[in-house]
Amino acid sequence: MKKTPSRDSLRLPENRLVFRQGLRDGVPIGLGYLAVSFSLGIAARNAGMTAFQSFLTSALCNASAGEYAGFTMIQAGAGLLELALMILIANARYLLMSFAMSQRLRPDTGLLHRLLMGFYITDEFFAAAVARPGWLNPNYTYGAAAVAAPCWAFGTALGCIAGELMPARAVSALSVALFGMFLAVIVPPARKDRAVAALVLLGFGMSFLFARLPGLSALSAGTRTVLLTVLLAAGAALLQPIKEDDDAA
């Protein structure tokens, strides 16, 4: 009696092809990750972390903003609760990306695949995946992550090692690269939207006041950062909500 091939066996050639496509597209993502994560390694070194600790952090947290927030709060002596809240806020956008990607998965996609894809959701992986037509194949994300994720983790460790070997002045100079990275994130949208520009300037001003005002200045740097982030985000959502038409576009 002839055995009927299973659905998984029929998809095996397709999965291999999609995985190879992910490997190909993961190369430029990985090269970009090396540069950014090297700067994060400098921040990890300034926070007193070892190369292995910085490597493990990047292996378990695929988010530049979340890691930078974590490293700076560790350096400031923040508590575990403050650290968790700040990273949760910094990475909240990935919740929206997860919702969007879940609508593009086949209904029979297993829970393990969904969890792994959620773990590897970053701005770059998300943009590359959703640009593909049809159902999203988890193997594409796995292929891209197989190249880019090691670059992210090893780049952080290399930055931390370099920070330990180089003179203090050189480390201080390289630390500026992180500020340049975040300026590159906020300047383009601030130029397009006056509300975003005003919010950025307001954030600078309030951060300065929080560090000087009685009572607020007595709080730890981590608590001030969390409080300021929540206040600015809530105020912007109330005063300048995103319209449904803009969201749909």
Averaged over 101-118, what is the pLDDT? 88
Query: Hey, CA dihedral for 105, 107, 113, 116, is it positive or negative?
Result: positive
pLDDT given for residue 211 in this prediction: 80
Whether the CB-CB separation of 22 and 143 falls below 8 Å is answered with yes
Q: How confident is the model at residue 244 (pLDDT cuts 50, 70, 90)?
A: low
- 94 occurs within a structural domain: yes
- 3 occurs within a structural domain: no
Number of domains present in the structure of the chain: 2
- 33: which residues sit within 8 A by CB, 6+ positions away? 124, 148, 151, 152, 155
| Residue 207 shares a structural domain with residue 152 | no
| Residue 173 shares a structural domain with residue 199 | no
- 32 occurs within a structural domain: yes
Rounded Cα–Cα distance for residues 46 and 187 (Å):
26
**Residue 172 belongs to what domain range?**
9-178
Rounded Cα–Cα distance for residues 100 and 51 (Å):
35
Nearest to 44 by CA among 31, 30, 55: 55
| Residue 76 shares a structural domain with residue 38 | yes
Neighbours of 67 (CB within 10 A): 26
pLDDT in tens, 120-176: 888 788 878 877 888 889 999 999 999 999 999 999 999 889 877 776 666 556 556
Rounded Cα–Cα distance for residues 104 and 140 (Å):
13
pLDDT in tens, 193-241: 787 788 888 888 888 888 888 877 777 665 676 677 778 777 877 777 7
Averaged over 104-111, what is the pLDDT? 87
Burial group, residue 144, by CB count within 10 angstroms (0-12, 13-18, 19+)? buried
pLDDT in tens, 23-65: 998 888 888 888 888 888 888 888 889 999 999 999 998 887 7
| Residue 33 shares a structural domain with residue 142 | yes
Domain boundary residue among 147, 178, 209?
178
Q: Alpha-carbon Rg of the chain, whole angstroms?
A: 21
| Residue 27 shares a structural domain with residue 106 | yes
pLDDT given for residue 221 in this prediction: 62
Rounded Cα–Cα distance for residues 74 and 36 (Å):
19
Domain boundary residue among 133, 150, 178?
178
Helices (H) then strands (E): counts for the chain: 12, 0
pLDDT given for residue 177 in this prediction: 58
pLDDT given for residue 19 in this prediction: 92
Residue type, 236: A
Q: How confident is the model at residue 181 (pLDDT cuts 50, 70, 90)?
A: low
Whether the CB-CB separation of 117 and 141 falls below 8 Å is answered with yes
Q: 112 vs 34, which has greater pLDDT? A: 112
Whether the CB-CB separation of 36 and 181 falls below 8 Å is answered with yes
| Residue 161 shares a structural domain with residue 38 | yes
| Residue 48 shares a structural domain with residue 115 | yes
Nearest to 159 by CA among 145, 147, 175: 175
Domain boundary residue among 145, 178, 211?
178
State the number of CA atoms in the 13 A half-sphere of 45 facing the CB: 26
Q: 113 vs 39, which has greater pLDDT? A: 113
Rounded Cα–Cα distance for residues 165 and 77 (Å):
24
pLDDT given for residue 123 in this prediction: 79
